[in-house]
Chains A and B, each alone.
Chain A
Amino acid sequence: MTLAFRHREIPDSPLAKWDARWKLAAVLVAVCGVAAIDHLAPAAIALALGVALLAMARLPVKWIRYRLGLFALAALPFLLVLPFTLEGEGWNLGPVRISERGLVAGLAVFCRCLAIGCFALVLVGTAPLHHTLAAAHKLKVPGLLVQLTLLAYRYAFLLADEFRRQRTAMCTRGYRVRATQHSYRALGHATGAVFVRGAVRAENVATAMRCRGFDGTFHTLRTFRTTFSDMISFVALVVAITALVLWDRI
């Protein structure tokens, strides 16, 4: 059975109840704002704000830890390289010089990246993907893009599942990944077969969609209703991020 669209349970929280359109708009503003921050202190506060939102979302710690770890891994090179490459005052550790400016800049990038990760996880973790995408469509994101994202998400899992099954079938016939020409060629053929099958499937799906009257327009059963608290939450987050950006600029 495919793993595609195996929905996670969304924990009950104020953020899960927040109208997905307002939440998406607020998170987008927050992410853009955080990306524009240069200094360490505002970046650290943005990170604290992101962590606070994650706590409010009541998401499982393990789920957050693994995903934030990926963001940390992406930002780690900056933290490791900048202190040794930027010039300025610092400390000498034997033959190696650590720059204070570089360390601060590295930490700022690290905090910014984690803060963005926190906001992204709040968005992804507090509503099913198809709700968020329906909200994006309501916010004038082109329907075709929304539909393509949904289909890509669904069929990426399906193809991965097919590849896994194909690999199992290969293993039952004695295939093992080895550093040999035969092994690489077999892996190449298997990957190619999955892509060809993916193309055939894409054609079949397109045919099935056309037969049900699809003309490129995205429709959903999902309806949205704005409440006063949705707007207040949006304004609060936008004001907080704007204040951080202004502080950073001053």
Chain B
Amino acid sequence: MRNAECGMRNESTQGVPASGFRNPQSAIRISSLSHRYPDGRVALDDVSFAVEQGECVAIVGPNGAGKTTLFLRLCGVLNGTPGQVAVNGLDPAIADHRKKLPEVIGIVFQNPDDQLFSPTVAEDVAFGPLNMGATVEEAKTRVVEALQVVGMPDAAERVPFQLSGGEKRRAALAGVLAMRPSILLLDEPSMFLDPRGRRELVTTIRELSGTKLIATHDLDFVLDTCARVLVLDAGKLAAEGPAEKLLADTELMDKHGLEVPYRLRR
């Protein structure tokens, strides 16, 4: 049985307004964000948008569009200029704020093998809460809750590397949910998943409360999980709008190296 409420903190359950900067309580606010790597490559170029509390937003775009860079900036892994990003009021570019970020924002990486490094699933899921100062008892409770949410209640003592692709993905998600973040970032969550694993992940994500930002190429997955879409291409925000409307735009999809999902084709 799943219990979505214990997975993520829901800072607010208000409606889902269009993006922009009208709401100062936005979960994520990005204003004129640019990022250049040391080799001179521009990964993000003057990107601005906002994601409201409780909203589920997809970021789509071709390879190298800057999706992962955007996520790494949101998490404070990549440094930047203060004032460009606000995550629940915290600025990842400020060192003091950055320390508090893991409790607010959780990221599930593209390759779960990069995220599952502990000897057992339980140890891996408990990794974050213990880092946050939770007691062993509290961490164990969170492990049980998080595994319940992702539908793997019996996997605590299993070895992460012996899980199937779908199970690894869900174990990695449990590791992030155990930290009870209010914002969840998912980087290519449906990659390497078979249809069943993908279906299970869609169900899990839909049941999670809280703010979600999903970077993916899988546009059918977007239709299943997100109401709003941002199209990122060559580091620039090319378009944004309701998922069904934007993803059905053949010209827009072609222009940015994407394809209209099968179910939206006429």
Contacts and interface: CB of A to CB of B under 8 A. Distances in A.
B254 interface: no
B123 interface: yes
A151 interface: yes
A20 to B, nearest CB: 14
A199 to B, nearest CB: 13
B161 A213 contact: no
Given A1-B161, A221-B139, A213 B117 contact: no
Contacts of A130: 118-120, 123
Nearest to A201: B114
A211 B107 contact: yes
Interface residues of A, number: 32
Interface string A196-217: 0000010011011111111101
A220 B115 CA distance: 17
Contact of A210 (B77, B106, B123, B162): B77
B109 A208 contact: yes
Given A5-B159, A204-B111, A211-B107, A154 B117 contact: yes
Nearest to B75: A211
B117 A151 contact: yes
A213 B101 CA distance: 8
A1 B116 CA distance: 14
A207 B69 CA distance: 12
Interface stretch (B58-66, B128-136, B198-206): B128-136
Interface in B96-153: 102-103, 106-107, 109, 111, 113-115, 117-120, 122-123, 126-128, 130-132, 136, 139-140, 143
Interface of B: 72, 75, 77, 102-103, 106-107, 109, 111, 113-115, 117-120, 122-123, 126-128, 130-132, 136, 139-140, 143, 159-162, 175-176, 179
Interface of A: 1-7, 128-130, 150-151, 154-155, 158, 201, 204-205, 207-215, 217, 219-221, 223
29 contacts: A2-B113, A2-B161, A5-B159, A6-B159, A129-B119, A130-B123, A150-B118, A150-B119, A201-B114, A204-B109, A204-B114, A205-B114, A207-B77, A208-B107, A208-B115, A209-B117, A211-B77, A211-B106, A212-B127, A213-B102, A213-B103, A213-B179, A214-B131, A219-B131, A220-B130, A221-B122, A221-B136, A221-B143, A223-B136
